[in-house]
Structure 1
Amino acid sequence: MSQNYSAIAAQLLAAIGGAGNIQQAAHCLTRLRIALRDDSLVQVDAIRQVELVKGCFSNAGVFQIVIGAGDVDRVYAELVAQAGIATATVAQVKSSGDHKQNRLQQLVKVFSDVFMPILPAIIVAGLLMGLNNLLGARGMFIADKTLLQAYPGLDGVWGLINMMANTSFVFLPALVGWSAAKRFGGSEILGIVLGLLLVHPDLLNAWNYGKAAAGLDGASVPYFDVFGLHIEKVGYQGQILPILAASWVMSRIELWLRPRVPNAIQLLVIPIVTIVISGLLALAVIGPLTRHLGIAITDALVYVFNLAPWLGALLFGALYAPLVLTGMHHMFIAVDLQLIANQGGTFIWPMIALSNIAQGSAALAMFWLLKSPRDKSMASTSAISAFFGITEPAMFGVNLRYKLPFYAGLTGSACAAVLITLGHVRAAAIGVGGLPAFISIIPTFIPLFLLGTLVAIIVPITLTLLLARRHAAMAGDEVAQHA
């Protein structure tokens, strides 16, 4: 249905206190993010009555209005035009609210700012890798055979897809280097160079480093001899922490040099000095330290889940959706990638995908209960969005509004998380965190993950319908009459 985005933007502009109350405004995939001068001027009730708006809240000094994928781009364009303000990035808007954030919120914001721009590349790589895993899975489609064995002609397709899938992971430090340098105020191209330096073909990858460190076949770890200092020739393919820390150091060096180097020779001096110093530190100090730190973090996480898997899964399944509300869920991208690099798979991301499905299922149940055409439309579209990994419309527009569906979603998520965790389900990569998630699961675990998916669908729907009938007043007379 065609929407009057101009009218919607005008209503929102009036409800947030007018153009003069806006410091900066940006948008992400589903939300308008606005840094306001005076939060007291906001008319929350008026905002919630605006068409397309599924909810609004303030978090870490930034006022956010949930609209939904696709529509948010058009509303933002109209809002910027009518307010007469310049477009801004999400990072810039978040920076406007930094003074209102605590240390943890600021740390989470860094992860969010760095990983959100490169998330499409990671998801595409995850889906392609999952597709390749299915092609190479023995017994998945043909008894005792893989599709490649049954149809040798697919070998070329498999090789091509495999190369496409691995590209984002092999050169992940370059992607993170670009995004992190942009976030920390450094040169983005130097961030890319630094990231590529850490995955240079002359450096050992993780597999060959493991063989060399163990002394297999008489191999040993090669090194650079720099004035008597031995620097191991080790790469950091797929690693997050080394390039994240190195990009911060690189940006500090570059920012320190800029006002101190004459303009006439800046182009010559700053890039060389920055890359030489940060590259040396990355290979000699930052890389080894953060590699061991990353291994320690993932080992500790695995240890906790192995010690009490049902409890860890229960807590994570129940708490992930509330973390999405605060924006703290972005930090799990780094955890997932670190687990994939060190353990060969992540048990976190499958639980995240099931949490999204559970919230979508609760919203779908509300679609059957609600009678207002506008509310039914919101419930159905937000449920579909959640089934494909975007849960904010479902949570803000439906589940939190009626409360009990949100709790039903948390319960379904927790139950499904316990089931797949006890079965040691792992994902080989990060994909679409919803119904298509099974593609990225290691093939051996796909049947159990699909069973977990059924739990994440059935439990929230059943609980929502039962609780709605028992507590019909939760959604007003409309639900009471329907129940």
Structure 2
Amino acid sequence: MDIRKQAEEIVHAIGGKENISAATHCVTRLRLALNDESKVDQEALEQIESVKGSFSTNGQFQIVIGQGTVNKVYKEFVVITGVGESSKDEVKKAAEQNLNPIQRAVKTLADIFIPILPAIVTAGLLMGINNLLTGAGIFYNDASIIDKHPQWADIAGIINLIANTAFVFLPGLIGWSAAKRFGGSELLGIVLGLMLVHPDLLNAWGYAEAQKEGDVDTWNFLGLEIEKVGYQGQVLPVLVAAFVLAKVEQFLTKRVSDGFHLLVVPPITLLLTGFITFVAIGPITFAIGNFLTDGFVSIFDAVPAIGGLIYGGLYAPLVITGMHHTFLAVDLQLISAIGGTFLWPMVALSNIAQGSAAFAMMLATKDEKLKGLALTSSISAWLGITEPAMFGVNLRYRYPFFAAMIGSAIAGVTITIAGVMAPSIGVGGIPAFFSILNEFWPIFFVGMAIVLIVPFGLTFLIAKFKMRQEAQ
């Protein structure tokens, strides 16, 4: 492959070097901030030998090239265009000019939650392992592994502690990520988050019962009675508090000399933000979070089939817009409020559906380049990473994408009616059943069968029909 020629063809297809604002790359993709994405010649781009797909998300135009090749193409790309090598953050900043206010809000949430996602997913996987050890009826009738083999009980206890840590101290993780995103001190963000789950505070999970018994301690702050309640597992309180902390810190930093910065800015920032959080931010956002959670739960309780049909079917389009990141906060809020999420299992099935549609294209097509891309991307989707399958194959031909949506919608209705729950966000795709409560495994496997068979069957039949028409 002539790498120089490949880079030149890509530059020409995306509207020339004048259309490029900034450029970087990741393991598999060129990530570009373009001045005008309407100038991209999509058809010409897809004909380039090294290009395996392309898509636009969060204001960035991304071109899938592949591991090992992308860095070589990028080096030639930089020489040809003269844009200079940029970091991912610089490209993100340049790409923000292409976003509307709603997209910017969604991107802000994504920037906060994506960095902490590995910890949450790991926790979900470890909870799945703990479920295998403690769940009755999986390997023995009406008994668990630790019932039959008590020597495993302590190991299960350690695994459970490790798995729960990310959720017990979730405000600390969000505090770090949110403070960083809003331009504040990451260390102060961590302290702020951990402050909201301090052992001296009443655990949020026991608040309702303590309130019923009238056993909630209070502070007297300038005549106000403030309940000493923690915010374990809560999302909104620490998000808003981290925003306030960052703004207070920025305000003070501009007005305090460097010589007194350490003695003045961090203490006043943390003290002021802490008071505001416990007096106003915490109680208000706690109530809002519970209201939103109750709303979601009541909708899915009242009409689970409609909820499953809509969320199961429309999750994939949400990924295209980036809106799916907003539901991470909803999942975490549900986990905190009701002990699990009924949304995430549908996400896992949507991943599998996209992989099944791409796999059908691999078997149906005679295009060797598409065969290779469809095979690798379908395996990736079955393991929870859907972007290569969606943007490289399914959206390019459209009908595989819609077939995947249909299969995902049917499966969503099936598992939602049955009340399938996951105690945590886990690994997506086929391994997802590890993160599903074991009593729901049978019906979840039915959902998996639906998203394996329906998208594959529909895509394969339509592909063969289209090829027959083209042959005539």
Interval containing the TM-score (normalised by the shorter chain): over 0.9
Cα deviation, 1:348-379, whole Å, max 9, x if unaligned, reads 00011101101100111111111222211111
For the structure 1 residues 71 and 183, does the alpha-carbon distance in structure 2 shift closer, same or farther, using more than 3 Å as the test? Answer: farther
1:430 is matched with which residue?
A: 425
Instruction: For residue 10 of structure 1, report the CA deviation from its aligned partner.
Output: 6.0
Q: Which moved more, 1:76-85 or 1:363-372?
A: 76-85
Determine if contact 1:412/1:455 at 8 Å carries over to the other structure.
Answer: yes
Residue of structure 1 equivalent to 2:281: 286
Per the alignment, residue 197 of structure 1 pairs with 195
Q: Does 1:361 align with 2:356?
A: yes
Residues 1:230 and 2:230 aligned together: no
Is the Cα–Cα contact under 8 Å of residues 140 and 146 in structure 1 kept in the other structure?
Answer: yes
Cα gap change, 1:291 to 1:148, in 2 (>3 Å) = same
Q: TM-score, normalised by structure 2?
A: 0.92
Residue 467 (structure 1) shift: 2.0
Which residue matches 1:162? 160
Residue matched to 1:308: 303
Q: Deviations over 1:383-420 (max 9, x none)?
A: 00100111111112111222221111111000100000
Structure 1, unaligned runs of 5 or more: none
The 1-side partners of 2:368 and 2:138 are apart by: 43
C-alpha separation between the residues in 1 aligned to 2:412 and 2:27? 26
Query: Offset at 1:274?
Result: 0.8
Aligned to 1:107: 105
Aligned residue for 1:465, secondary structure, equals helix
Selected match of 1:176 from 174, 177, 180: 174
One-letter amino acid of the counterpart of residue 438, structure 1: F
Structure 2: distance between partners of 1:57 and 1:224 = 53
The within-5 A match list for 1:396-411 is 396-411=391-406
- 2:323 aligns with 328
Structure-1 residue corresponding to 2:137: 139
After superposition, the Cα gap between the structure-2 partners of 1:409 and 1:86, relative to the gap in structure 1 and judged at 3 Å, is same
1:297 alignment counterpart = 292
Give the deviation of 1:26 after TM superposition.
4.5
Provide the C-alpha distance between the structure 2 equivalents of 1:73 and 1:188, rounded to a whole number of angstroms: 32
Q: Bigger CA drift: 259-268 or 291-300?
A: 259-268
- Among candidates 444, 451, 458, match of residue 456 of structure 1: 451
Deviation at 1:77, TM superposition (A): 6.5
Residues 121 and 425 of structure 2 are in contact (CA less than 8 Å); yes or no, is this contact kept in structure 1? yes
Aligned residue number for residue 47 of structure 2: 49
Is the 8 Å Cα contact of residues 253 and 265 (structure 2) preserved in structure 1? yes
Letter in 1 for 2:224: L
Name which of 208, 225, 231 aligns with 1:210: 208
Distance 2:143 2:24 in 1: 51
Post-superposition offset of 1:94: 3.5
User: Contact 2:357–2:394 (CA<8 Å) still a contact in 1?
Assistant: yes
For 1:9 and 1:105, how far apart are their aligned partners in 2? Answer: 30
After TM superposition, list the pairs within 5 Å mapping 1:342-357 onto structure 2: 342-357=337-352
* Structure 2 Cα separation of the partners of residues 286 and 128 of structure 1: 33
Matches within 5 A, 1:219-298: 220-298=215-293
- Checking the alignment, whether the CA contact within 8 Å between 2:21 and 2:83 is kept in structure 1 is no
Aligned residue-pair number:
470
Pair 60,295 (structure 1): closer, same or farther in 2 beyond 3 Å = same
Contact 2:179 2:189 in 1 (8 A): yes
More displaced, 170-179 or 354-363? 170-179
SS, match of residue 254 in structure 2: coil
Tell me if the contact between 1:138 and 1:146 (Cα under 8 Å) persists in the aligned partners: yes
Q: Which residue of 1 aligns with 2:314?
A: 319
Conserved 8 A contact 1:30-1:392:
no
| Mapped contact 2:113–2:177 kept (Cα < 8 A) | yes
Flag the 1:25–1:180 CA change in 2: closer, same or farther, 3 A: farther
Kept after mapping to 2: 8 A contact 1:67/1:393: no
For the residues of structure 1 that align with 2:46 and 2:272, how far apart are their CA atoms?
Answer: 52
Q: Distance in 2 between matches of 1:48 and 1:267?
A: 54
2: CA distance, partners of 1:72 / 1:139: 49
**Could you say what secondary structure the match of 1:293 adopts?**
helix
**Aligned residue number for residue 419 of structure 1:** 414
The CA distance in 2 between the partners of 1:239 and 1:26, in whole Å, is: 35
Q: In the aligned structure 1, how far is the partner of 2:197 from the partner of 2:419?
A: 31
Report the counterpart of residue 146 of structure 2 in structure 1: 148
Q: Which moved more, 1:180-189 or 1:52-61?
A: 52-61
In 2, the alpha carbon distance for the partners of 1:7 and 1:203 equals 63
How many angstroms apart in 2 are the aligned matches of 1:254 and 1:331?
A: 26
Gaps of 5+ in 2: none
Q: Which moved more, 1:102-111 or 1:432-441?
A: 102-111
Letter in 1 for 2:185: S
Residue 31 of structure 1: how far off its partner (Å): 4.6
Give the counterpart letter for 2:212 in structure 1. Answer: A
Secondary structure of 2:115 counterpart: coil
Name the CA shift for 1:40/1:331 in 2 (closer, same or farther; >3 Å). closer
Q: Kindly tell me: are residues 302 and 159 of structure 1, through their superposed partners in 2, closer, same or farther at Cα, counting changes over 3 Å? A: same
CA drift of 1:295 comes to 0.9
- Do the aligned partners of residues 319 and 248 (structure 1) sit closer, same or farther apart at CA in structure 2, a change above 3 Å counting? same
